[in-house]
Amino acid sequence: MNSWCIFDLPGKEVEIASLQKKSEDPELWNDREHAQRIMKNLADLRDELEGWRKLENRITSSLELAELEDESLQPDLEAELEPIEKELEQRELSTLLAGPYDKGDALLTISSGAGGTESNDWAAMLQRMYLRWIERHNYEAEVLDLTEGEEAGIKSVTISVKGRLAYGYLHAEKGVHRLVRLSPFDSAHRRHTSFAQVEVLPEVTSETATVQINPEDLRIDVYRSAGAGGQNVQKNSTAVRITHLPTGLVVSCQNERSQMQNRESAMRVLQARLEDIAQQERDKELANLRGEYVKTEWGSQIRSYVLHPYQMVKDHRTEYEVGNAQAVLDGDLDGFIEAYLRWRLDPAKE
């Protein structure tokens, strides 16, 4: 029951003390963005340390009660054991996220594959699934760009996900997702297979950025926002498209009210994509941040969602699967994410 020792409590206390000292610097708020990151990191570390301390106290108290060997306490001890084990597993899992970006925010992009309306609808189902997962984890979601399908669903969406460990967890979702179902768009109700690509990139701050963007390398176009958009999208030219000329990368944002906000959001996405390319070049591994690019078609999927003729969701990397497909589509992804994080560290995997 001493498993909490996997978390370096004294080391975190030293880190908190260092951040506390920085937070007391009278010149800290001269750089507001830097100051906000310091305060956020300090608050996150304090919450994390407090959580481990509370868990340690619960374990110690349970052990002390068990040592009394009082049979009347057995039901209470058994009831306490399951939530302790569950929380300990979750906290142990978080220690696996030690990458340079794992503890930060994420940019999640969903793009429909070939297949028109079917794939567009599947991309919209994935958007709903991830928004439900984000809500379950009390993260903040902001839709930066959304392109709707011509008949139904979406062609693509980019979502900013803010919260501690957001990138570390969502990184497990990068790749092609495959859906098999009876089509609601087919009058003959035939079975269809659809694909969508999920891309996950870390949000990059000025402190973690390694790529400097030269303004002269950018072509910036403004245009009217497309799609329904609701009241949050104005009819004038507020949407922004930025082309990075040296690489040919194109990013767009249209969901904010002002052109300036959309430009800032587009620059965040562009910075993340350029950082991803730089990381790939440094490591010579396409799978490090974004993963190796694969065509969105049959045979390349990381996960299959089968709704007909039976219900099953299976991850092809880890072999983890569940029979309740609807629960997964409602955002119950933690089992898949945990399986991936443990599989990633398994030396026996290919």
CB-based contact 67:24 (threshold 8 Å)? no
Write down the pLDDT at residue 50.
85
CB-based contact 214:227 (threshold 8 Å)? no
Taking the C-alpha atoms of residue 243 and residue 143, their distance in angstroms, rounded to an integer, is 20
Check whether residue 323 and residue 183 sit in a common domain: yes
CATH code, domain carrying 240: 3.30.160.20
User: Per the domain annotation, does 289 fall within a domain?
Assistant: no
Check whether residue 278 and residue 298 sit in a common domain: no
Check whether residue 279 and residue 315 sit in a common domain: no
Write down the pLDDT at residue 348.
61
User: Per the domain annotation, does 332 fall within a domain?
Assistant: yes
Instruction: Give this prediction's pTM.
Output: 0.75
CATH code, domain carrying 18: 1.20.58.410
Write down the pLDDT at residue 232.
44
Give the end of a domain, one of 46, 66, 94.
Answer: 94
Give the end of a domain, one of 45, 64, 94.
Answer: 94
User: Per the domain annotation, does 350 fall within a domain?
Assistant: no
Check whether residue 177 and residue 307 sit in a common domain: yes
User: Per the domain annotation, does 349 fall within a domain?
Assistant: no
Check whether residue 220 and residue 279 sit in a common domain: yes
CB-based contact 269:107 (threshold 8 Å)? yes
User: Per the domain annotation, does 196 fall within a domain?
Assistant: yes
φ, ψ at 276 (rounded to 5°): -65, -45
Check whether residue 177 and residue 300 sit in a common domain: yes
Rounded (10°) angle between helices 74-94 and 32-66:
150
Rg (CA), the chain: 23
CB-based contact 191:182 (threshold 8 Å)? yes
User: Per the domain annotation, does 253 fall within a domain?
Assistant: yes
Check whether residue 198 and residue 252 sit in a common domain: no
User: Per the domain annotation, does 181 fall within a domain?
Assistant: yes
Cross-sheet strand order for the sheet of 106-112? 140-148, 154-162, 106-112, 191-202, 175-182, 303-306, 312-315, 321-322
Write down the pLDDT at residue 159.
96
Check whether residue 87 and residue 222 sit in a common domain: no
Taking the C-alpha atoms of residue 270 and residue 146, their distance in angstroms, rounded to an integer, is 16
CATH code, domain carrying 135: 3.30.70.1660
Check whether residue 176 and residue 201 sit in a common domain: yes
Residue type for position 233: V
Q: How many domains does the chain have?
A: 3
Give the end of a domain, one of 283, 307, 334.
Answer: 283
Check whether residue 182 and residue 235 sit in a common domain: no
Write down the pLDDT at residue 286.
45
Check whether residue 301 and residue 187 sit in a common domain: yes
Print pLDDT tens along the chain (350 aa).
344 444 567 777 888 888 888 888 888 888 887 787 788 778 878 887 888 888 888 888 888 888 888 888 888 888 888 888 878 877 777 777 878 788 889 999 999 998 789 999 999 999 999 999 999 999 999 999 999 988 899 999 999 999 989 999 999 999 999 999 998 888 777 888 999 999 999 988 776 778 899 999 999 999 887 654 444 444 567 889 999 999 999 999 987 778 898 999 999 999 999 988 887 777 654 444 545 544 444 457 899 999 988 999 999 999 999 999 999 999 999 999 999 998 987 756 65
User: Per the domain annotation, does 9 fall within a domain?
Assistant: yes
Taking the C-alpha atoms of residue 16 and residue 44, their distance in angstroms, rounded to an integer, is 10
Check whether residue 14 and residue 156 sit in a common domain: no
Write down the pLDDT at residue 7.
57
Residue 219 lies in domain: 215-283
Write down the pLDDT at residue 236.
65
